[in-house]
Amino acid sequence: MASDFLFSDESEQAPKQVNNHGTWKVIIVDDEPEVHAVTKLALSDFSFQDKRLEFISAYSGKEAEEKIIAHPDAAIVLLDVVMETDDAGLRVAQFIRETAKNNHVRIILRTGQPGQAPERQVIVNYDINDYKSKTELTAQKLFTVVMSSLRSYRDILSIEHSRQGLEKIITASRDIFSSHSMDTFIHGVMQQLTSILGSVDEAMYATSLVASSPDEKQQDLIVFAGQGEFEKSEGKPVNQVLSEKQLLACKKALSNKTIVYEEDYLFAYCSSRFNHNSMLYVSGIPRSLTETHKDLIEIFSQNVQIAYENVQLQSEIEDTQRELVYRLSEAVEQRSSETGNHVKRVSLISYELAKGYGLSDEEADVLRYAAPLHDVGKVGIPDTILHKPSKLDEQEWKVMQTHAMKGHNILAGSRRDIIQAGAILARDHHEKWDGTGYPRGLKGEEIHVYGRIVALADVYDALRHKRCYKEAWSVEQVTTELQNQRGLHFEPKLVDVLLNNIDRFEQILNNYPG
């Protein structure tokens, strides 16, 4: 039978020279070794989109199921019906669709005994894509059916990539102004671009960081997001990840503010409303791009830039809010005996304590930016009390204690996370673990964790620095005092975090002296 199969009188063609751009996987399922041999021979010079065929053989239904699981990216299954049982092939087809949940692979059913599996019945009852009798399947017809099946497989993958890319973009659009979703958004756009072009091997989006001050120079392009080998290059300068030839094309696109097309890759300059540049790199593109493709590439590159700039704008707003918090807090401190860097130190010490205590990254960040507000209530305390170099009398002390609730009342009612946290810690940072603090005499975990953390950060920094009423304490003196106040003024766990990492906290003091 095998000798009659695939060998009609057809003209031979010289094998084509095909560049290596990957392969299309074809699983041959047949219990006759000769069928495998002649199938591979007949398709030995086959190529589609510069990819050759990679053959995977299975000689029984059970082995076919194993190959399907091992190769979920197979494009075609050439499937015999009758093997160890009369319906082994039909069971494999059912396994592919229902058990393996593989709806992408194209199934071509081949049978030498069509009477045992009538074509109409098989087509209706099984999700297969073609049905051929081995006797009619010449080499040319096999070539035709494989080519049409690969085109269908390619189009299905294109639709799936488009769906996945659109899903990522929709998901990212819910919080597009959050920098944490930017990576997802960019990868989604890249995947959409892959879908449109048909084949993309690697992609990369690089941008220069905006200078933080007028005196700073704009930085080089940095990889912001990538696919393929560039996925591990995020955060690196492009001149460290591109070849010399690629770098020249990148510089050309950057200089001319345009899109540069090379053999199988492109660099697309992304225009900016601000003072930084961005670049989209895509490799593995088709050799001949239509004008429609080029227009879509341009649109996509600008969409990526717009999304990125929206995030940059949101980040700028958040940075401005945080800077205002710092500056207002420093203005408050200048009325008292504290130094300007006190709020920065308390902020960083609180952040490190929060991380060591086990708070989430998000909570630690909120506390870091809210901590400078802990003494905002001092705006309501007279200078005569704030600057008094000697011990306060009973009445003066009562007035001083009111700054906790004054600070809370100033900040309470906001819907912003940082201001809400500021209100809490302004009220609670003078409470003590043993319940002897003020303003409400809370005890233990009744005190909000933000208040407990800032209480320790504030006292540690105050003891280590000179004030109008005291000299700076040594590290040894502070360590002894904190150990004595463990379980009294401060939560034991927090004291342990600080003392076990004292070098890290001392470094913060060294970085922000004063």
Cβ pair 319, 209 in contact under 8 A: no
Cβ pair 27, 56 in contact under 8 A: yes
Torsion sign over Cα 7, 10, 15, 18: negative
Cβ pair 128, 78 in contact under 8 A: no
User: Residue 499 to residues 268, 357, 384, 503: CA-CA distances in angstroms?
Assistant: 53, 12, 35, 9
283 has which bridge partners?
A: 202, 265
Q: 3-state SS string over 65-85?
A: HHHHHHCCCCCEEEEECCCCC
Tokens of 274: 């601000």
Tokens of 46: 């086959």
Q: 3-state SS string over 205-260?
A: EEECCCCCCCCCCCCCCEEEEEEHHHHHCCCCEHHHCCCHHHHHHHHHHHHHCCEE
Amino acid residing at 479: T
C-alpha of 370 from chain center: 27
Q: Is beta strand 106-111 parallel, antiparallel or unpaired with respect to 76-80? A: parallel
Alpha-carbon span 102 to 247, nearest angstrom: 41
Tokens of 392: 């306060």
CA-angle at 391, arms to 386 and 392, nearest 5° = 60
User: Residue 83 to residues 7, 59, 453: CA-CA distances in angstroms?
Assistant: 23, 8, 72
Residues 6+ apart with CB under 8 A from 411: 373, 376, 419, 420, 422, 423, 426
The residues annotated with a catalytic role in the active site are 378
Amino acid residing at 112: G
Amino acid residing at 66: E
User: Residue 274 to residues 322, 377, 395: CA-CA distances in angstroms?
Assistant: 22, 39, 56
User: Residue 355 to residues 350, 366, 451: CA-CA distances in angstroms?
Assistant: 9, 12, 15
**DSSP assignments along 297-349, one per residue:** HHHHHHHHHHHHHHHHHHHHHHHHHHHHHHHHHHHHHHHTT--TTHHHHHHHH
Count the neighbouring beta carbons within 10 Å of the beta carbon of residue 3.
8
Backbone angles phi, psi at 267, to 5 degrees: -120, 125
